[in-house]
Structure 1
């Protein structure tokens, strides 16, 4: 018989690549920047290397790969990334219907991201979600000083809502996010819209490919 899980009390969504289709835009800005600093990557390689990481971690990896980056590079890439995102990003297909279904069932929802609130203001603000989550249901690594794969971001969200980790569900598209969920003791759905979820599954993520699958997966 298939394993069944109780419906979660709190669902914690990652932002980029889960709520908004922003990863390719951000990574294109990144590879254009890195090319000017001596490191040439394809979009696919950039996604493989950097999705789910912090920008400081990206900087360290890029330097190790041969990029010549100056001390203020993080500020530079943030400016260029934000400018690219401001040209327009869309919600991932099915997100609006899923959030409406969860709110109808009175299931708590929030966002927990390694990105900054400024970045989420740009991406979520274009699509009507900034007002839905801000300020009480939005958790940024920049604000809290802890980033995935550390579980602290998810645990802070659970604590804020007074929900036990076992009653939380995380929706993630990155290895760092899935690992953080596992370390927090939370069930995790690994979003793999392109169908390649092996890396997430290896870390304990339960793979799904469309937002329309989520209600069934959580017993609604």
Structure 2
């Protein structure tokens, strides 16, 4: 059977690791302490799938709020502490192992800062499987999602045509990046913190499929279970 793709490119947060609720709690606590209390739903809509820089820009545009010199160091310290107890999403490891067995290359392309990206992978027990193919916006001059650069770069590093890749995303900005890059995008809403309109947003930007678990994703990718 001929596959319709040559590689799989994964987002990290909400796709392989269950980090969204932890990150949101850190952001909201720190913002409130620095003069900007926000409702959970309001923060989720402006922040999901975005880089730090884009979140700060949107907070400035929407609320006229600018981060003080102390804000980012506190946020960074709290993120690092929060992600020290991070778990992989159910059956995410099995998805990566299935791709390895099938000889299908894969990479992680995340808006996370490089140090936190690797911290999350280590803490969730996925570092060895992903290996060197974990990429953040610093590899492409800081041009994170929803720009396509990061996914195009990850495909190049794997030695495959981005048009022959499946991108797995949980957010509209990430899915938009994959579609702009020319990949097929599968939405995956398997994390513990799924936004109520997540499916509608993914379909609106053009996701080819929306799946609800790694078991479903494994089926969609044609991965055989271990013997």
The alignment's TM-score, normalised by the length of structure 2, stands at 0.87
2:195 corresponds to 1:211: no
In 1: Cα distance, 2:65 partner to 2:220 partner: 43
Tell me the SS of whatever aligns to 1:179: helix
Q: Distance in 2 between matches of 1:122 and 1:144?
A: 20
**1:93-126 CA distances to partner (integer Å, 9 max, x unpaired)?**
1101111111111111110001112112221111
Match of residue 159 from structure 2: 162
- Find runs of 4+ consecutive structure 1 residues off by over 4 angstroms: none
Contact 2:96 2:129 in 1 (8 A): no
Cα separation, 1, equivalents of 2:66 and 2:152? 36
Give, in whole Å, the separation in 1 of the partners of 2:13 and 2:32: 23
Tell me the distance in 2 between the aligned counterparts of 1:125 and 1:42. Answer: 31
> What does the per-residue CA deviation read over 1:116-147, in whole Å, with 9 as the maximum and x for residues that have no partner?
12112221111221232232x11111333221
* SS of match in other structure, 2:37: coil
Following the alignment from structure 1 to structure 2, what is the Cα–Cα distance between the partners of residues 209 and 182? 20
> Does the Cα contact within 8 Å between 1:9 and 1:107 map onto a contact in 2?
yes
* Structure 1 residues 7 and 103: CA distance shift in structure 2, 3 A: farther
Distance across 2 between alignment mates of 1:129 and 1:219: 21
For 2:114 and 2:10, the matched residues in 1 are separated by: 14
Deviations 1:152-187 (A, max 9, x none): 101111111221122101000111110011111100
- Aligned-residue RMSD, C-alpha: 1.8
List runs of 5+ in structure 1 lacking aligned partners.
Answer: none
Q: Does 1:40 align with 2:37?
A: yes
The one of 80, 95, 113 equivalent to 1:82 is 80
Q: How many residues align?
A: 214
Indicate how the Cα distance of structure 1 residues 72 and 107 shifts in structure 2: closer, same or farther if over 3 A, else same: same
Partners of 2:38 and 2:25 lie apart in 1 by: 10
Match of 1:31 in 2: 28
Distance 1:131 1:121 in 2: 11
Deviation, 1:11, is 0.5
Q: How does 1:41-190 map to 2 (within 5 A)?
A: 41-64=38-61, 65-71=63-69, 73-86=71-84, 88-135=85-132, 137-145=133-141, 146-190=143-187
Do 1:114 and 1:142's aligned partners in 2 also have CA atoms closer than 8 Å? Answer: no
- 1 CA distance for matches of 2:168 and 2:158? 17
- Post-superposition Cα deviations, 1:50-73, rounded to whole Å, max 9, x if no partner, equal 011111111122223243521463
Q: Which 5+ residue runs of structure 2 have no aligned equivalent?
A: none
TM-score by length of 1: 0.90
